[in-house]
Structure 1
Amino acid sequence: MRLELFENGVDSLRFGMDFYDNYLTLEDKYNPTSNPGYLKMAVISFHNCLELFSKKLLSDENELLIYRDLSDETLLGIIRHKKETHREIPLDYYVISDQINVLTIDYSECIKRLGIIYNLSKTQIKTLDAMGKIRNKVTHFGLDKTIDFHEILIEVNKALNLIIDFYYENLKKNGKEKHSLDPIYENLLDLIERAEIEEYESWEVYYADNFEFPNYTFDSLTENEKFKSELLTKGYSFEVELGAYSHSSNIIFRLLEKSGTVYKEIQSTNLPRLDSTIFTEGTTGGPIYFVIDHSKKILEEENHCYIYHNPKEHNEFEFEDHKFWEEDIQKRNGKLCYGTYFNEDNLIRIVESLL
Structure 2
Amino acid sequence: MELHIMDNGINSLKVGLDFYNKFLDNLNSLDISVDHYGNLKFSVIAIHNSIELFTKKILSDINEFLIFKVDIESDEAVCRMLHNQYIKGRKKAGLSYHATFRENDYKTIDYNKCISLINKIFKENITNRQYKTLDKLAQYRNTLTHLGYTSVYEWYKILITLNDTLYIIKEFYVKNILNADRYFDDSIMSIMDKILEKAKKETHEQWLASNELIITWVNEIIDKCLENKSIENVEYKLDKEYEFYQTIKFQVIRKSGKEVIKLNFIYSEINEAIILTNEEGDIISIISIHDENIKFFEESDGIERIYSFYPKKHILYKSDEVYNISNQNEYGKLELNEQKFDVIISKYMKTKM
Shorter-chain TM-score range? 0.7 to 0.9
Answer yes or no: is 1:242 the counterpart of 2:238.
yes
Provide TM-score, normalisation by structure 1: 0.81
Answer yes or no: is 1:156 the counterpart of 2:162.
yes
Output aligned runs, 1:12-51, within 5 Å: 12-26=12-26, 27-28=28-29, 31-33=32-34, 35-51=36-52
For 1:220 and 1:180, how far apart are their aligned partners in 2? 53
Answer yes or no: is 1:269 the counterpart of 2:266.
yes
* Paired amino acid for 2:260: Y
1:258-283 alpha-carbon deviations (Å, 9 max, x no partner): 9xx99321111122122111112144
For 1:92 and 1:271, how far apart are their aligned partners in 2? 44
Give secondary structure in 1 for the equivalent of 2:36. coil
Closer, same or farther: CA 5–187 of 1 in aligned 2, 3 Å: same
- TM superposition shift of 1:293: 3.0
For 2:148 and 2:113, how far apart are their aligned partners in 1? 25
Equivalent residue for 1:97?
Answer: 101
For 1:84 and 1:29, how far apart are their aligned partners in 2? 63
The alignment-based identity, stated in percent, is: 25
Answer yes or no: is 1:209 the counterpart of 2:205.
no
Closer, same or farther: CA 179–69 of 1 in aligned 2, 3 Å: closer
Equivalent residue for 1:3?
Answer: 3
- TM superposition shift of 1:128: 1.4
* Paired amino acid for 1:16: G
- TM superposition shift of 1:157: 0.7
Provide TM-score, normalisation by structure 2: 0.81
1:61-118 alpha-carbon deviations (Å, 9 max, x no partner): 1121111234362662562574599596732221013621101111111112111222
For 2:119 and 2:106, how far apart are their aligned partners in 1? 24
Give secondary structure in 1 for the equivalent of 2:105. coil
Equivalent residue for 1:254?
Answer: 249
Give secondary structure in 2 for the equivalent of 1:306. strand
Output aligned runs, 1:30-109, within 5 Å: 31-33=32-34, 35-71=36-72, 73=75, 76-77=78-79, 79-80=81-82, 82-83=84-85, 86=88, 90-97=94-101, 99-109=103-113
For 2:86 and 2:338, how far apart are their aligned partners in 1? 80
Q: CA RMSD in A?
A: 3.3
* Paired amino acid for 2:139: K
1:288-336 alpha-carbon deviations (Å, 9 max, x no partner): 145233434665285532254x875213454433432x223xxxx3x95
* Paired amino acid for 1:274: N
Query: Are the counterparts in 2 of residues 59 and 66 from structure 1 also a CA contact under 8 Å?
Result: yes
For 1:307 and 1:86, how far apart are their aligned partners in 2? 62
Equivalent residue for 1:295?
Answer: 291
Consecutive unaligned residues of structure 2, counting only runs of 5 or more, are 297-302
Q: 1:169 aligns with which of 161, 164, 175?
A: 175
Give secondary structure in 1 for the equivalent of 2:107. coil
Larger mean Cα displacement after TM superposition, 345-354 or 314-323: 345-354
Equivalent residue for 1:315?
Answer: 316
Equivalent residue for 2:201?
Answer: 197
Larger mean Cα displacement after TM superposition, 95-104 or 200-209: 95-104
* Paired amino acid for 2:235: E
For 1:283 and 1:352, how far apart are their aligned partners in 2? 16
Query: Are the counterparts in 2 of residues 9 and 48 from structure 1 also a CA contact under 8 Å?
Result: yes
Query: Are the counterparts in 2 of residues 240 and 254 from structure 1 also a CA contact under 8 Å?
Result: yes
Query: Are the counterparts in 1 of residues 9 and 49 from structure 2 also a CA contact under 8 Å?
Result: yes
Closer, same or farther: CA 214–77 of 1 in aligned 2, 3 Å: same
Query: Are the counterparts in 2 of residues 58 and 65 from structure 1 also a CA contact under 8 Å?
Result: yes
For 1:96 and 1:29, how far apart are their aligned partners in 2? 45
Equivalent residue for 2:278?
Answer: 281
For 2:133 and 2:59, how far apart are their aligned partners in 1? 18
